[in-house]
Structure 1
Amino acid sequence: MLSSRPFRSPQAPHCYGATVPEDSRPTREGAPDLEGSSETWRDPAVLPDPDRDGWHLFVTARSVAAGRNDDGVAHATSQDLATWTLGPPLCDAGAGFGQLEVLQNVVVAGRPVLEFTCDPQEQTAERIAEWGEYSTWSVPSPTVVGPWDMNKARPFLPEPDLFAAPIVRLRDGGSATIGFRNLESHGGDGFEIIDPIAVTLDAEGHLVAP
């Protein structure tokens, strides 16, 4: 389990993530077997508390007891962007995603939504059997700081190979996602940048094209 004690970034007050001191970092003893699995504790995202009570840090992470295809979202809070206190995770393991990369919780069409990337090669067979092979996913969000039921995740259907595609606000007030098309899954070499895709939310709160 992750420690709930505060930790401080030596790079403070840099606001895009915190580095855990050497004496606070988890050791390999008792940790999950990472051979051949994805990285954990990365892709930080920082946002202000909606009630102006400090800051929130979301981190791609994995529970010690979770399997290879069970990444989640760790959560820490701070009052000064320098010292962070780790709290309970914002979702439960077991949804079949081995990566929650480039995670972002933003407001689209007046409602918050969580968007993330997970390559089909890092999803469980059950997850792929339900929806097919998609890389970009979204989950309805009750607030801008979660929590999330990852079993409600749905793929972004218009572009199955969309990868690492953050949502941006357009000048007219609308939203679009811009990222890469993964060519490797089709025998290609690397990724290609795609044109922005306008997005909104459906009735249930999932990311869709208008």
Structure 2
Amino acid sequence: MTFARDDHWVWDFWIADDGQRYHLFYLHAPTSLGDERLRHRNARIGHAVSSDLRSWQDLGPVLTPGAPGEFDQTAVWTGCVVPGPDGVWRMFYTGSRFPSDASAANIETVGVATSRDLHHWQAARVPVVTADPRWYETLPDGTWREEAWRDPWVFADPHGEGWHMLITARAKTGDGDDRGVIGHAVSPDLDHWEVRPPLSAPGAGFAHLEVPQLVAVEGNDLLLFSCDGPALAGGRAGGRGGVWQLPVAAQTGPFDPAAATLLVDDALYAGRIVHDRSGSPVLLAFENGRGDAFAGRISDPIPVRWDADRGALQLVAALPAGAEVHA
């Protein structure tokens, strides 16, 4: 069964695996808002657990926005959870601050919360990393509706040299509709972070590369990200968006999103690859819906495999109604 909450929309999510249960952390907002476009200003992070990625026990909210004046005062958005060598789980998440109720402009910043058990979280309420204007577009540039600095994905350096964070960001230069890049920060210890130049170049056809995830499938490293149709630019403008895949030569980049191909269209969004208890890779994504109906729930796991002939992932099971596979 899909994961859904009565009277709430559910969308972006991330998963932590403690070896016995999968912990789903998800964004949600009440349908009583009436207009699903208001969900972003009202997002909270919830928690559910499962042993099989199908049957979920919802445990309710674990993180809400901060106090007025804090970087996450309006809403808390997408992140990731990683176990540290000190036995502490860290949830890196996006804090959103809308300076005005009358404007869609917002400032996004990455923060952190910590936990010993994945159930009880303490948010530091101070930014971990912010967009560095040397390399990244910021709100005063006036090019875009937001200061994009969100969706952190944290992973250990493959050579044991600290940690890396991938971030949905926008470049300082380039066509205003085509500045989407993978932002980058590094840390020796998960506590102290340094922003670095982006790991990709603008001009790849994406206004933003959302919810990035690095994952290995059958020994092949891939970068997954999402970009919907209205945010496509350049030669991709007017096409179908959704969940995109990009085989990469090195986990630490550089990346070339111009070579990305569509895995599944945007009836599904914010896709994540997870390995089930058999070790098989599956795709989970939130069901975006079609037309005026926003579905607002998370799909069942969809098996995937590596297609060696194409050098790409292939979905090998039926999709939710309305979604299409792209080969």
Q: TM-score, normalised by structure 2?
A: 0.53
After superposition, what is the alpha-carbon deviation per residue over 1:70-92, rounded to whole angstroms, capped at 9, x for unaligned?
21111111101122122221111
Match of 1:152 in 2: 259
1:63 Cα deviation from its structure 2 partner = 1.0
Does residue 113 in structure 1 map to residue 222 in structure 2?
A: yes
Q: 1:92 to 1:81 in 2, by over 3 A?
A: same
Letter in 1 for 2:143: D
Match of 2:199 in 1: 90
- Aligned to 2:271, the other structure's residue is in SS state coil
Q: 159, 162, 171: which one pairs with 2:277?
A: 171
Unaligned runs of 5+ in 2: 1-87, 93-109, 112-126, 317-327
Match of 2:246 in 1: 139
Q: 1:188 to 1:110 in 2, by over 3 A?
A: same
Match of 2:232 in 1: 123
Match of 2:151 in 1: 43
1: distance between equivalents of 2:143 and 2:165? Answer: 25
1: distance between equivalents of 2:139 and 2:269? Answer: 30
Unaligned runs of 5+ in 1: 1-12
2: distance between equivalents of 1:38 and 1:202? Answer: 38
Indicate the structure (1 or 2) with the bigger Cα radius of gyration.
2
Match of 2:96 in 1: none
Match of 1:56 in 2: 164
Letter in 2 for 1:33: T
8 Å Cα contact 2:209/2:226 also seen in 1:
yes
After superposition, what is the alpha-carbon deviation per residue over 1:139-172, rounded to whole angstroms, capped at 9, x for unaligned?
1111222221111100014x55210121101111
After superposition, what is the alpha-carbon deviation per residue over 1:59-115, rounded to whole angstroms, capped at 9, x for unaligned?
111111132332111111110112212222111110111121111011011111000
Match of 1:197 in 2: 302
After superposition, what is the alpha-carbon deviation per residue over 1:27-72, rounded to whole angstroms, capped at 9, x for unaligned?
654x2422xx455111111101111110001111111113233211
Letter in 2 for 1:106: V
Q: 1:128 to 1:198 in 2, by over 3 A?
A: farther
1: distance between equivalents of 2:268 and 2:187? Answer: 33
1: distance between equivalents of 2:312 and 2:179? Answer: 21
Letter in 1 for 2:246: V
2: distance between equivalents of 1:85 and 1:119? Answer: 30
Instruction: State the number of aligned residues.
Output: 190
2: distance between equivalents of 1:128 and 1:65? Answer: 19
1: distance between equivalents of 2:146 and 2:268? Answer: 19
Letter in 1 for 2:233: T
**RMSD between superposed Cα atoms in Å:** 2.5
Match of 1:207 in 2: 313
Task: Name the structure with the higher strand share.
Answer: 2
Letter in 2 for 1:133: R
1:25 Cα deviation from its structure 2 partner = 6.2
1:200 Cα deviation from its structure 2 partner = 2.2
- Aligned to 1:168, the other structure's residue is in SS state strand
Q: 1:142 to 1:25 in 2, by over 3 A?
A: closer
Over the matched positions of the two proteins, sequence identity in percent amounts to: 35
Letter in 1 for 2:297: E
1:191 Cα deviation from its structure 2 partner = 2.6
Letter in 2 for 1:152: A
2: distance between equivalents of 1:133 and 1:25? Answer: 31
2: distance between equivalents of 1:144 and 1:25? Answer: 22
